[in-house]
């Protein structure tokens, strides 16, 4: 049931919106009656949620099952040091309600999955995707297409950000391009690191997340021209922008939800070919005893420069091009940040060259820092 009035307090709160001729009372009431689902309350979700709440979106849903960590605070401005260890969605709800008591916040403290995606998306008018991995991005996209909801997409990495509006309802009743029209297939697993592995400039999520909130507001109110059929690219390092056109593909067909981990080449642990492992304590013993082995770091050069436990640097993306750099007659221990990329590297090398002397460092450099040498910084 729509609400066609603003209270005296709301009139004061939204005064700067109401004085914009193209926006005015009509736009504000559209916001008041809108329901927006924000998936993720981290780097992108933090600024997007703050501005959507402040703007007066009447009902905001937050999907997030994660807890606040100290390393989040560099960019996730919705949280502070006192929130560390608490669930993000619950902390976000309390802070957004304090910012604007005239709106409703619903917490969905669950992992967004094929089991709940359609039901969650169905309850809202617009979805804002603030996720940071490919399986979930494809899942968000497909759920929005199947439920006929616009998907306001954003992503960030290091100095670069992207924004677009997918599955937008055009005036003629057709739908605009969706994420699969732009990226029909995901990149190979492990090739594109996430923000935890590759890093992100702290202010970048604020810039891109605010743009994402702006696009949500435009979709709801009809004010301005949303980024439908266009991809906005921003480079904070050089302060350059580009806008690329996205066209619908006749080959894009979405008939139901699928196994997105499998689609992106990520198999569940039980289905993956097991790799041999050594623990950080076993590696430390080898070092203390002066054993002869090779240590390889498959992270990116900037990660190695920030923190390493020595070893040869051979980034994952090109490791199969340098088989001659890998010893054949001694134990080879491969590590990354957490053990995920190094496991990918080992499977690739074993499949391509039949190597049998490769061992994954369980837990990666994070485990080394936590269990062996705390002077090695984590990120």
Catalytic positions are 195, 336
Residue 76: both structure tokens together: 């996730």
The CA distance from 211 to 192, in Å, is 23
Q: What is the distance between the alpha carbons of residues 346 and 80, in angstroms, rounded to a whole number?
A: 39
Kind of pairing, strands 59-63 and 35-39? parallel
CA distance 192 to 284: 30
Give me the helices (H) in the chain, please: 8-13, 15-18, 24-32, 45-55, 88-99, 117-122, 134-146, 179-182, 195-198, 204-221, 260-263, 280-289, 301-306, 340-353, 364-371
Strands 240-245, 230-235: parallel, antiparallel or unpaired by DSSP?
antiparallel
Distance CA 75, CA 209 (A): 11
């Amino acid at each position: 049931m729509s609400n066609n009035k603003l209270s005296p307090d709301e009139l004061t709160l939204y005064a700067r919106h109401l004085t914009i001729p193209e926006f005015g009372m009509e736009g504000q009431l559209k916001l008041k009656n809108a329901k927006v689902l924000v998936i993720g309350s981290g780097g992108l979700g933090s600024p997007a949620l703050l501005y959507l709440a402040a703007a007066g979106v009447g009902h905001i849903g937050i999907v997030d099952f994660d807890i606040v960590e100290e390393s989040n605070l560099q960019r996730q401005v919705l949280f502070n040091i006192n929130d560390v260890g608490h669930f993000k969605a619950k902390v976000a709800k309390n802070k957004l309600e304090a910012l604007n008591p005239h709106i409703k916040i619903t917490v969905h403290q669950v992992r967004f999955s094929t089991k709940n995606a359609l039901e969650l998306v169905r309850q809202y008018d617009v979805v804002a995707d603030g996720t940071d991995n490919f399986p979930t991005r494809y899942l968000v996209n497909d759920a929005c297409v199947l439920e006929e909801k616009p998907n306001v997409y954003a992503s960030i990495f290091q100095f670069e950000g992207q924004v677009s509006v997918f599955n937008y309802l055009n005036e003629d009743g057709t739908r605009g391009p969706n994420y699969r029209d732009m990226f029909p297939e995901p990149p190979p697993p492990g090739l594109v690191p996430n923000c935890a592995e590759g890093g992100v400039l702290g202010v970048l999520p604020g810039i891109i997340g605010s743009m994402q909130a702006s696009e949500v507001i435009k979709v709801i109110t009809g004010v301005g021209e949303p980024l439908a059929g266009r991809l906005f690219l921003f480079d904070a390092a050089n302060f350059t922008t580009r806008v690329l056109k996205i066209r619908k593909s006749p080959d894009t067909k979405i008939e139901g939800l699928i196994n997105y981990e499998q689609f992106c080449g990520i198999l569940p642990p039980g289905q993956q070919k097991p790799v041999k492992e050594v623990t950080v304590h076993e590696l430390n013993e080898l070092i203390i005893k002066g054993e002869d082995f090779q240590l390889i770091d498959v992270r990116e050069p900037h990660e190695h420069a920030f923190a390493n436990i020595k070893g040869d640097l051979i980034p994952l993306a090109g490791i199969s091009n340098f088989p001659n750099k890998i010893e054949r007659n001694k134990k080879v221990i491969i590590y990354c940040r957490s053990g995920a990329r190094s496991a990918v590297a080992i499977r690739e090398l074993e499949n391509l060259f039949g190597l049998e002397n490769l061992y994954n460092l369980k837990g990666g450099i994070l485990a080394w820092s936590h269990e062996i040498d705390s002077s090695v910084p984590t990120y």
